[in-house]
Structure 1
Amino acid sequence: MKTRNLLLLILLSLNLQLFAQTLSPDQLQADFALFRKVLQEVHPQMYRYTSKQQFDSLFAATQACLNRPMTQHEFYKTMLPLLVSLRDGHIKWIVSGKDEHYPFFTDSLFPLKLYFVGEKAWVAANYGDSQIPEGAELVSINGQSINSIKQTLFPNMTFSDGYTVQGKYEDLNHFFSGYYATHYGAYATFDIVYTLNGEEKKATIPAVTEQQIKDYVQAHKPASQLPLRLAIDETKTAVLTIERFWDDKKEQKYKPFIKDAFRQLKKENIQHLILDVRNNEGGNEPFGVWLYSYLAKQPFRYYDHIKVARKEKYSFHAWVPKIYTKVIRKYMLKKTDDGYVFTFPKGLKTSKPKRNAFGGDVYVLINGNSFSVTTEFSARVHADGRATFVGQETGGGYRTNSSGMFTILQLPHSKIDLGIPMFGFHMANVPDYIRHGQGIEPNHTIVPTIEDILTKKDPILTFTRQLIQSKSTFAAPSSGPVPSK
């Protein structure tokens, strides 16, 4: 027993030493220099939203801060403003071996699941035993207002393209406890102020662990459903749900499902199609092109061009997909006046509508987690005026999306993994009025309330059905004379 206790003390001592270990200025400067080199050689358009002059100033200011020893945590936070300035939701900055949302603290986490709208947040669930009433509005944590906390976190969150913010709201709704710990620290208890039925109350609530949060999420998962679903109701309105743009051999094959779904829509003579791509964070680019070919009414170009940073080999060692180094870099990159472009993808060529392409009215449901390939697809639909959009702005950018393949490098001293998307996808025929850095903005913005969240109501789908019904009623021929008053 004494030997076992001694071993535990030794292991604990080693862990504490690792946690408290600092990086020297020389180590920090070396990781910083490599970080900068990797961004400049890999990212397809580093200066898309932040000019080179602005970036040079940011790099200089950041480098000047690395003149003293820092912990891994301090270095991680010091570098975040550079990553956020890319305004690229695909960028990865992950402490090696850690969950990206809980990089430093796995115990002593904030115990409430929150739902954010604007400057406010409500309690959506208790991860532990605090039993704060669901639906209560949270006013402050440890003396700081919810809005001030949000204002601190937003500039340090990377999950959004361009100037969109809805993806950040979605991230806070799912991972607030991790973000709070990273930027405010871990506490055994939290002093909160909340209001319920107009009455302000105070409470001190105990922390939870990362495992408790994950156990709660697992226990409260919605009933299992296939990720690709088609439902046709008695009004002959179809709802096509696409939760992801990739194949899973254990579940469904994407292309055969889409082909069969649109064959059925034609057979049933469906005139109204609701396409639900909320919470679909993307997948394989060709799958978006494939789906749009079943909605298009005329030949179309999906992409205008696809940017890459360079054709030369990188000046550093990193993980790069073999198909890129063996095939794409050698045979599929073309030099232009504006750098290199990727020439192979089918979406660059003119595509024709499929045989069973849907010709009726389309309604696309979107939110902040509609991202990457989902946003590209939505942009093509929107640019061609092919659908009415309902919900909230996408987290992905309308004009451009950086994704495709990733170069991944671990900084040698800080042991933080940097993942950079290698292709910049530019959508074709984007309307001139689309602002630089915006997402796909819905024709009808519908924001679920905390009551909707708690009662599992879907106001976005309900509104869309009502929209279809009102349109059908308005368009329907009169069955007789209108009675006089």
Structure 2
Amino acid sequence: MFKRSLIVWLALALTVCHGGTTADKTIENRQLLEVAGMQKDLTILWEAFRDIHPAYGLYTSGDSLQAVYKKTRDAIRQPLSENEFIAAIYPFVSALKCGHTQVKNSVHYKPVAADGLPQLPFQVLVQNDRVWVTTHQLKTLQTGDELLSINGVPVADIVGHGADLYAADGNNRTFKELFLSEYGGFEDACNKYYRWKPPYEIKLKTLQGTLKSITADTLPDKAPLAEVVQEVDNYKDWSTASSTDYLPLRFLNNSTTASFEVHTYQYGDTLIYEKAFREIREKGIKNLIIDLRHNTGGDLRVAAKLLTYLADTPFQMVGDLWARVPDPGATRFEKYFDTARTTSFIQSFKPTGIRKNGHYQIDFQPDFGPMLSNTGLDKKDHYNGKMVVLIDGATFSSGAHTAAVIKQYCPSAVFIGRETAGGSEGCSGGSIQRLTLPNTGIVIEFPLLRVVSVLSHPTFGHGIIPDYVVAYTPMDILTKKDLDLQKALEIIAR
């Protein structure tokens, strides 16, 4: 059984960033954190970033990050709740530009009330600093209305502050747009940054281009949607294999085209891969769609198994592995780290003592297999046909590494969708520690290593950019229309 120690899943970040920090609901009876303790903890975090974090200085200069640290520290002038402290320091954490570095509540944290923060009576689609209404409970709105301002604040400002509440790799925006759209991030900005209470004064532009002002109040969760539409059946012309369990393998009727959804890597996936690619071979599939959308990572060895069926030649899963210190498992910050994860690091990685390009080379322990050297291909069920790869703003960590290996070792593969959340040049990850700040108990998911991708020509500071970028409309979201799949079928038919 594979050990879950190589890459932290982004699914954890979803909980950390949204659900895990919205439970603070009333001012009464909260245990507030002392100013001195919060400032001391922020200083510890700054020093840990400066001294050992693998992303330090890559996307944000040390001087710039230090300036954000000082501004954040100086702004902490009164006692705060845990969630207020987390919201206060997240812009500093985000400025590091590492998607694996996320903030969590203390282990003893408990919600203090049951009524919840205000919930907007609509959901949104965020693209390029613009915001459109998707589903909604208000009859004064319609799907596709573009929000221009709330309470006099331009939506671009709300988006900017909401984006600061989540860390992402490099200069990536699709990851943040996904959080703002799908995981309540726009609402978080209204609640956590602006601390607005309903009703909200909203200015918008309708689908017909008319400027309009409305007053919007919250509605109960069970209030019906104001617009109900028929959802698109994207797979009505497909049949689904019965042997691949939670990883759907579908075959387009009367064709030689198949689609395989590759979700966040689990240890049972390798057995499913065997069944899937056997069936793909037996059915004579010539066009294969590999769906990596929302693949948030997992164990790279599982990803490597997938690549044995897809790569054109023997492949290398990781381009390089390094740390900023000779042994990141033994530093002055060790006392703040989780001892179990330190043990896992020792079992999984091996410091070499070799210094190269200002970094210290790290190797995998033998149990991980040849991550830094060639892995052979599957001889029996290897796929040799045309390949289309679907990616999006939640293709992260080892999901993004998978996309990078396909791009490097399957040069004819076509990529469709949106920029991956994971950086095309790699990510800070490998071993994710839990740094517990001693005065507040706040926990920081803290990567120790830099996992370099195999791409020969990555786009620095960005994920893998698709060959065909697909943008969705609010109505596409409402009807769940799969434009990526439609584009893939269009490319295959050429």
Kindly provide the amino acid, as one letter, of the partner of residue 45 in structure 2: F
Deviations 1:155-191 (A, max 9, x none): x143421111101110111212123211111313112
CA distance 1:311–1:454, change in 2 (3 Å): closer
Q: CA deviation at 1:401?
A: 1.5
Q: 2:211 corresponds to which residue?
A: 200
Instruction: Indicate if the aligned counterparts of 1:405 and 1:421 stay in contact, CA closer than 8 A.
Output: yes
1:120 is aligned to 130
Q: 1:103–1:182: 8 Å Cα contact kept in structure 2?
A: no
Q: Is contact 2:133-2:147 (8 Å) kept?
A: yes
Structure-2 residue corresponding to 1:353: 377
- Deviation by residue 1:8-49 (Cα, 9 ceiling, x = unmatched): xxxxxx97454483523x223321222224434653342222
1:410 corresponds to 2:436: yes
The CA deviation at 1:411 is: 2.6
Cα distance, 1:461–1:414 mapped onto 2, change above 3 Å: same
Scaled by the length of structure 1, the TM-score of the pair is 0.81
**Corresponding residue number in structure 1 for 2:166:** 158
Residue-by-residue CA offset, 1:352-393 (whole Å, 9 max, x unaligned) = 111121111110001111111110000111123151101111
1:29-108 pair list within 5 angstroms: 29-40=39-50, 43-66=53-76, 68-72=77-81, 75-96=85-106, 106-108=116-118
Equivalent positions of 1:439-478 (< 5 A) are 439-470=463-494
Q: Once the 2 structures are TM-superposed, how far is the Cα of residue 77 of structure 1 from its aligned partner?
A: 3.9
Structure 1 position 147 matched with structure 2 position 156:
yes
Structure 1 residues 61 and 457: CA distance shift in structure 2, 3 A: closer
Unaligned runs of 5+ in 1: 1-13, 248-252, 471-485
- The secondary structure found in structure 2 opposite 1:332 is strand
Partner amino acid for 2:305?
W
Structure 1 103/331 Cα, relative in aligned 2: closer, same or farther at 3 Å?
A: farther
Deviation at 1:327, TM superposition (A): 6.5
Cα deviations by residue, 1:291-348 (Å, 9 ceiling, x for unpaired): 1111112112121222234242544534536364266269722112122413334311
CA distance, structure 1, for counterparts of residue 361 and residue 447 of structure 2: 15
Q: 2:451 aligns with which of 421, 425, 441?
A: 425
Query: What CA distance in whole angstroms lies between the structure 2 residues aligned with 1:150 and 1:104?
Result: 27
1:134 partnered with 2:152: no
Equivalent position amino acid for 2:211 in 1: E
Distance (Å, rounded) in 1 between the aligned partners of 2:131 and 2:307: 37
Q: Deviations over 1:268-301 (max 9, x none)?
A: 2211100111112112121111111111121121
CA contact (8 A) 1:304 1:348 kept: yes
Q: Deviations over 1:184-230 (max 9, x none)?
A: 11313112123243333322222358x779x9xxxx9999x954111
- Aligned with 1:178: secondary structure? helix
Sequence identity percentage: 23
User: 251, 274, 286: which is aligned to 2:289?
Assistant: 274
Name which of structure 1's ranges 229-238 and 57-66 shifts more when overlaid on structure 2.
57-66
TM, length-normalised to structure 2: 0.80
Q: How many residues align?
A: 439
Structure 1 266/105 Cα, relative in aligned 2: closer, same or farther at 3 Å? same
Q: How many Å separate the matches in 1 of 2:212 and 2:315?
A: 58
Taking a change above 3 Å as real, the CA distance of residues 65 and 119 of structure 1, as seen in their structure-2 partners, is: closer
C-alpha distance 36-180 of structure 1, shift in aligned 2 (>3 A): same
CA distance in 2, matches of 1:104, 1:61: 34
The structure with more radius of gyration = 1
- Letter aligned with residue 248 of structure 2: R
SS in 1 for 2:335: coil
Structure showing the higher helix proportion among its residues: 1
Q: Deviations over 1:96-146 (max 9, x none)?
A: 37999x9999322322110122232221112x5666323322222112222
| Aligned counterpart, 1:366 | 391
SS in 1 for 2:319: strand
Q: Is the 8 A contact 1:42 1:407 kept in 2?
A: no
Which letter maps to 1:325? T
Q: Is 1:381 paired with 2:381?
A: no
Say whether the 8 Å CA contact 2:161–2:189 is kept in structure 1: no
Q: Secondary structure at the match of 2:103?
A: strand
Distance in 2 (alpha carbons) for counterparts of 1:461 and 1:99:
42
Distance in 1 (alpha carbons) for counterparts of 2:214 and 2:404 = 46
The answer for the alignment partner of 2:308 in structure 1 is 293
Contact 1:88 1:162 in 2 (8 A): yes
Q: Which moved more, 1:161-170 or 1:339-348?
A: 339-348
